[in-house]
Chain A
Amino acid sequence: MRTVILRSIAPFLTSLMVLFSIFVLLRGHNEPGGGFIGGLIAASALAIYGIACGVAAVRRAIYFHPIAISAVGLLMSALAGVLSLFAEVPFMSGLWVYPHLFGVEVALSSVLVFDVGVYLVVVGAICSIALGLEEGDRD
């Protein structure tokens, strides 16, 4: 499947898809989207990149081991829940702050942190499955 066309397009396609996945992730709270969908889109992007340019290229591109990404995501989600304990509300209660960055009000919340964690878990897990299958037991 390593045709020239696919190989040339793959980096752009992948970066576009990853960007799109982050967009989907961030808008998820108010529009269709969210961590699960975003994560799946990013994972497919990386899978396509892997098919086109080889597993080694993907591993270089994401730098961290996919399982490590996944683990960080799980930790983030769990900590987002723990965060609320410090505010003396039950575990997993959403906390919101509205700082002004560059003159724009930005809604930040522990819920967003949680969703980013979900995104990372899905990316990491699916990516590790896909990459593992692509390289098989060759190593």
Chain B
Amino acid sequence: MEPLFALLVGALFTVAFYLFLSKHVIRVLMGAAILGNAVNLLIFTAGRVTREVPPVIGGGNDVLVQGAANPLPQALILTAIVISFSFFAFLLVLGFRAFQKLDTDRSDEMRVAEPVREASPPLGY
């Protein structure tokens, strides 16, 4: 199954980056959301894919059965999902506030920190 997943991850990354390259904040935000999925699936696939057997030690066993899914990437991804969500929310609010303040949603018109014609620094001491 891994080649299919690799293809899928490639597609997710491509779309995320394509959206990032757009000048519109809202599309960049959607790119960020997709990028989170892309990275999570990347980690998931790198830990190898198995079907349907969750990494739960069942019944009277003391040890995880052979053939169960790899628990380590899942633990990494679980927290990553929550963090990327809160990060996404932060970006969303940031973009929203920037839109309110600057009255534009185009990144190339947001030039407060890097003005278009910035004066040279003073040459004296």
Using known A-B contacts A129-B86, A133-B93, determine if residue A32 contacts B78 with beta carbons closer than 8 Å. no
Cβ–Cβ contact B86 & A125, under 8 A: yes
B56 within 8 A of A: yes
Q: Kindly list chain A residues whose C-beta atoms are within 8 Å of the C-beta of B81.
A: 36
A30 within 8 A of B: yes
Min CB–CB distance A21 → chain B (angstroms): 14
The range of chain A's interface size is 10 to 19
Using known A-B contacts A129-B89, A133-B93, determine if residue A122 contacts B82 with beta carbons closer than 8 Å. yes
Other contacts beyond A31-B56, A122-B82, A125-B86: 10, CB < 8 A: A30-B56, A32-B54, A34-B78, A36-B78, A36-B81, A126-B85, A129-B86, A129-B93, A132-B93, A133-B93
Min CB–CB distance B117 → chain A (angstroms): 33
A24 within 8 A of B: no
B79 within 8 A of A: yes
Q: Kindly list chain A residues whose C-beta atoms are within 8 Å of the C-beta of B86.
A: 125-126, 129
Main secondary structure of the interface of B (DSSP, over half): helix
A46 within 8 A of B: no
List 11 A-B residue pairs with CB atoms under 8 Å apart, sorted by A's residue number: A30-B56, A32-B56, A34-B78, A36-B81, A36-B82, A40-B82, A125-B86, A129-B86, A132-B93, A133-B89, A133-B93
Q: Kindly list chain A residues whose C-beta atoms are within 8 Å of the C-beta of B79.
A: 36
The range of chain B's interface size is 10 to 19
Contact with A along B66-102 (1 / 0, CB 8 A): 0000000000001101100110010001000000000
The complex places the Cα of A34 from the Cα of B54 at a distance, in Å, of 15
Instruction: Write the chain A residue with the least CB distance to B57.
Output: A30
Identify the 8 closest CB pairs spanning chains A and B, nearest first: A129-B89, A36-B82, A36-B78, A32-B54, A125-B86, A122-B82, A31-B56, A32-B56
Q: Kindly list chain B residues whose C-beta atoms are within 8 Å of the C-beta of A34.
A: 78
Q: Kindly list chain A residues whose C-beta atoms are within 8 Å of the C-beta of B89.
A: 129, 133
The complex places the Cα of A100 from the Cα of B89 at a distance, in Å, of 44
Instruction: Write the chain B residue with the least CB distance to A125.
Output: B86
